[in-house]
Amino acid sequence: MCPVMHVSAEARERAAAALVRLAELLGPSGSAAEPADTDAVALEQRVEDGLGALGRMVPSCTGPEATAVALLALELAEVKALLADERTARRLDGVLQVQRALAHLPATGSTEQMLTRAPDAVCTYCGFKAAILWRVEDGVVTPVSAYSVEDPHLHEKVRRFCAGLAPIRLDAMVLENDILRRRSPLLVHDALNDPRVIRELTRASGIRSYVAAAVMPEGRVIGFPHASTLAVDDVLDRDVLWAFAEGYGYALERTILLRRLHDHGERIRDLVHSTEAALTQLREAGLQISTTSAGPQDVESGPVRSAMFSAPRSPGRACVLRKAKTLPAR
């Protein structure tokens, strides 16, 4: 099945009129289907085929017929350029949408917030109406968060639905395994009947088609975002979600690394504090011994004791400390 791509009303109307005129020129022997329900890919192909047919007619055309063929060829060429411009504009707009969505996510600050707000960002900035983020942990797939522009209770519906199911194993999910095997996103055209999807969930949420991709920082899958325009999703919607998933994986990895760095910093800080406390105790213990009253035996052994204490890790120092603790206070 060809991937669907949206066409503006202007381009569709101009293409329909030009193809009707082409059918009139070709006569009963020709064929030029009207593009009423045709997606952009098929429509561009029909316009291209029409230009080819007109090119083959030119050598045999003379007089007014040649003029009509030339004018129609010019119109089809303009329609072709218009369709190409629309496709390019949508791709550029999709890139900007993904940039805005990813720029919004770092402000969340924590990994859990990034996981929770990802579907919201996809819908708010990337043109989708509903989105679900699935997490993969130890081979089990669970819904983390869901958001819908039209259904504020989608998250609760998804969680409640999945709570009534047995744990969903990743190796049992055909669609997600296709994504991992191909290393590319997928477009589900018929979500209500496709055997690769959880059809009960798509029917309950009213999703007829959707796109899916994998979040794979460091090459390890940790989640799958699913998104739908709640209309007819196309290949550009698929590519937009793919770009978001790629950038989201890097952003999530950065957040995880920053959290680890912060935790390591806290451990090092605690280690420094404990080391300072131990050194303080050692200094205070040395000061107490050096200020005790000096008897004849202390005076005689003074230089030796001083030498022992000049080496912090000397075995003699430890021996003197133990002996000093056994002496009676004076």
Q: Are residues 118 and 251 in the same domain?
A: yes
- Is 184 part of any domain? yes
More confident: 313 or 78: 78
Does a structural domain hold residue 78? Answer: yes
pLDDT band at 92 (very low <50, low <70, confident <90, very high): confident
All residues at 6 or more sequence positions from 80 whose CB lies less than 8 Å from its CB, including other chains: 44, 47, 48, 51
Q: Can you give the pLDDT at residue 227?
A: 95
Side-by-side strand order, sheet with 140-148? 168-169, 140-148, 130-137, 223-228, 210-212, 186-188
The predicted pLDDT at position 125 comes to 92
Same domain, 119 and 204: yes
Shared-domain flag, residues 207 and 153: yes
**Domain harbouring 200, CATH code:** 3.30.450.40
How far from 85 is each of 82, 88, 92, 198, CA to CA, in Å? 5, 5, 10, 37
pLDDT of residue 218: 75
As a whole number of Å, the end-to-end CA separation of the chain is 99
Residues 81 and 149 in one domain: no
Last residue of a domain, one of 97, 124, 150: 97
pLDDT in tens, 163-182: 888 888 988 888 888 898 88
pLDDT-derived band at 63, boundaries 50, 70, 90: confident
For residue 294, is it within any domain?
Answer: no
State which of 220, 238, 259 marks the end of a domain.
259
Same domain, 127 and 208: yes
Tokens of 21: 């005129």
Any domain includes 287: no
Residue 254 and residue 207 share a domain = yes
Nearest to 44 by CA among 94, 81, 9, 18: 81
pLDDT of residue 308: 47
Q: Do 119 and 252 have their domain in common?
A: yes
Residue 90 and residue 6 in contact, taking contact as beta carbons nearer than 8 Å: yes
Does residue 189 form part of some domain? yes
- Whether 188 and 255 share a structural domain: yes
* Cα 70 to Cα 61: distance, rounded to the nearest angstrom: 10
What pLDDT sits at residue 224? 94
Least trusted range by pLDDT, from 28-32, 100-104, 276-280? 28-32
Same domain assignment for residues 23 and 130: no
> Are 83 and 113 in the same domain?
no
What mean pLDDT do residues 60-71 have?
Answer: 81
Which one of 235, 259, 283 terminates a domain? Answer: 259
74 within a domain of the structure (yes/no): yes
Render pLDDT for 105-157 as a digit per residue (tens, 0 to 9).
865 567 788 888 899 999 999 999 999 999 998 889 999 999 999 999 999 98
Domain annotation covers residue 2:
no
Tokens for 95, please give them. 């890139």
Q: Are residues 122 and 188 in the same domain?
A: yes
d(CA 82, CA 165): 49
For residues 126 and 236, state if they share a domain. yes
Q: What is the pLDDT of residue 309?
A: 47
Mean pLDDT for the stretch of residues 267-284? 88
46 within some domain: yes
Cα–Cα distance for residue pair 50/56, rounded to 1 Å? 10
Residue 34 belongs to domain spanning: 9-97
Number of domains in the chain: 2
